[in-house]
Chains A and B, each alone.
Chain A
Amino acid sequence: MTIAWTESRVLTGNEAVAEGVCLARVQTIAAYPITPQTQIVERLAEMVARGELAARFVNVESEHSAMAACFAAAAVGARTFTATSSQGLALMHEMLHWTAGARLPIVMANVNRALAPPWSVWADHTDALSQRDTGWMQVYAESNQEVLDSILLAYAVSERVLLPTMVNLDGFLLSHTAEPVEVYAGHRVDLFLPDFEAPYRLRPGEPRAFGGLADPGRYLEFRLRLQQAMARAAGVIEEEGARFAVAFGRGYGLLHAEMMEDAETVLMVVGSMATTARAAIAQLRREGRRVGLLRVRVMRPFPFGAIRRALRGARRVAVLDRNLSPGHHGILHAEVKSALFSEPARPSVSGYVLGLGGRDVRPEDIAGIVADVERREGGEDLIWWGTGAPPSEIPVPAERREALA
């Protein structure tokens, strides 16, 4: 009889995060509770209190302090974790630059939630995407299994390239949804993710400084190295994803393509929306429609090359953004267009903003978007989906119409 190395358990996304952190044998946790992330902190505190996880749990008074404590722990070489959401992530912003700039391989779970006001606790990616220029890698999970797996993968990648990783899971849609998750035996995970030996760390007998002064003759080179690490990370994410597939039977990459062969219309999505999109697209495929699904799993480093290759042959692309850069467009839409600009032949690209603040996204929405984008040969940068009347169709009184014309 072989010893089982995996057990199927019904877990919420928040519970899957905690199981992943426990399996990664994290040594220091500093976190502050916030809806819908709170159960991660509660579960980890229980694990530490019961002795299941030999970690130091540092109670802090804010998210900014949480990340400051993580900086210190990672600087002495500890495997370090925190979790937050939305407003809490926004409060961490300054420390996100500090930890990435100091090249500390911290892993954070961010439960995606809309920013206030108006007050909202529901799913939205603008919280994480607002942090995209801090130097943190960003992964977005589709399922609770991927949440657990991504925590393990994040440490494997971060500790190789010395950059922190933010693992994102949609508020409520994953964080509070219970579904079967394979939880691996610790000894199996130890083979995949051995102890971390930090190449640079603070030690009493060996003084160093993290985050010292860099004069104008040096700062630029530090940014160059950060960018080089990001570029290297794209390959390392693919390598570690392939190694994970050997260890656990499930592979992960930068971009997940499905039903793409011969696809004329391609939907690009991020996070849990991909599952609903798969249901709708599989139905359209059964009706003979040539539609494909491209899920962007990693937003930083942004998979420019993989996106260009995947979209060769497509006629039109609908990019679905659960986020908005006010005054611009959906953020993935803008980045996909920038990736395609250098292509000699490129598809038309339309951007749909939907699901903000947890608005339900249903298979009928996906089917509706496919029908809509197939009517827009030239592409349209910002289409509000599911708001009732799109702004262009809101009736304008006759006297105003004359003034506007």
Chain B
Amino acid sequence: MIEICIHGRGGQGAVIAGRLLAEAAHRSGRLVQAFPQFGVERRGAPVTAYVRIAEPGDAILPRCQILSPDHAIVLDPTLLAAGDVLAGLEPGGTVLVNTSRPVGSLPAPAGATVAGVDASAIALKHKLGSRAQPIVNTAILGAFASLTGIVTLDALIEAIHAALPASAEANVQAARDAHAAITRKEEEEKVA
């Protein structure tokens, strides 16, 4: 079973991101569970969405929050400064951050695979959300598919078409762009 936490702020689309990721995994025949942190959501306030994915013969049994995820997706890099969003990450886990800054500058637990993508810029390019608050969920999922291979880009695109029919085209383009634009920390170091 794979456990994923998506950290964002109200309005960025973290909850929908969880749902899309589950939809995409379900389309490839796997068991899924997606739920938001059970809060009273407010624009700008920290929001966490949780996703569990398991192989068909397996089972998803816990119905509780994920404290030690295998993967963490961070929609707003300012959440990293608060310090606790990556606290429980499993050793060897993956961190994907929406950032315009070099990935090397990101704080991350030792041993974690760290990657970044400028999902805000990609979202704005496709007119998703406003300059003050771009909706970055589909972009960052495109990058997540590229980084981890947990879902394919094609499955993600199918899920976007099913869940967001009115704005599917822009969201699909954002996912495609981010899928191609991701930067991994090791690659960045190699270039440097």
B61–A172 CB distance below 8 A: no
Report the number of A-B residue pairs with Cβ-Cβ less than 8 Å.
62
A173 at the interface (CB under 8 A from B): yes
Number of interface residues of A (CB under 8 A): 25
**Interface mask (B83-109 → A, CB under 8 Å = 1, otherwise 0):** 000000000000000000000000000
Q: Which residue of A lies closest to B52 (CB)?
A: A179
A360 at the interface (CB under 8 A from B): yes
A363–B62 CB distance below 8 A: yes
Interface pairs (12), CB distance under 8 Å: A10-B23, A10-B26, A10-B32, A35-B40, A173-B38, A176-B36, A177-B34, A177-B35, A177-B63, A178-B19, A276-B63, A363-B64
Report whether over half of chain B's contact residues are helix, strand or loop; otherwise say mixed: mixed
B65 at the interface (CB under 8 A from A): yes
A59 at the interface (CB under 8 A from B): no
A172–B38 CB distance below 8 A: yes
Q: With the chains together, A177 CA to B23 CA distance in Å?
A: 13
B74 at the interface (CB under 8 A from A): no
A275–B63 CB distance below 8 A: yes
Given contacts A122-B38, A358-B38, whether A177 and B64 have CB atoms under 8 Å apart is no
Q: Interface size for chain B: under 10, 10 to 19, 20 to 34, or 35 or more residues? A: 10 to 19
Q: Which residue of B lies closest to A172 (CB)?
A: B38
Q: With the chains together, A282 CA to B61 CA distance in Å?
A: 10
> Closest CB of chain B to A4's CB: distance in Å?
15
B33 at the interface (CB under 8 A from A): yes
Q: With the chains together, A273 CA to B33 CA distance in Å?
A: 15
Q: With the chains together, A8 CA to B35 CA distance in Å?
A: 18
A121 at the interface (CB under 8 A from B): yes
A362–B64 CB distance below 8 A: yes
**Interface mask (B6-35 → A, CB under 8 Å = 1, otherwise 0):** 000000000000110011001000011111
> Closest CB of chain A to B34's CB: distance in Å?
4
> Closest CB of chain B to A274's CB: distance in Å?
9
Q: With the chains together, A171 CA to B35 CA distance in Å?
A: 12
A186 at the interface (CB under 8 A from B): no
Known pairs A173-B38, A275-B63, A279-B61. 18 more at Cβ < 8 A?
Answer: A10-B23, A10-B26, A35-B40, A121-B40, A172-B35, A178-B18, A178-B19, A178-B33, A179-B33, A179-B60, A180-B26, A275-B62, A276-B62, A276-B63, A276-B64, A278-B61, A360-B64, A360-B65
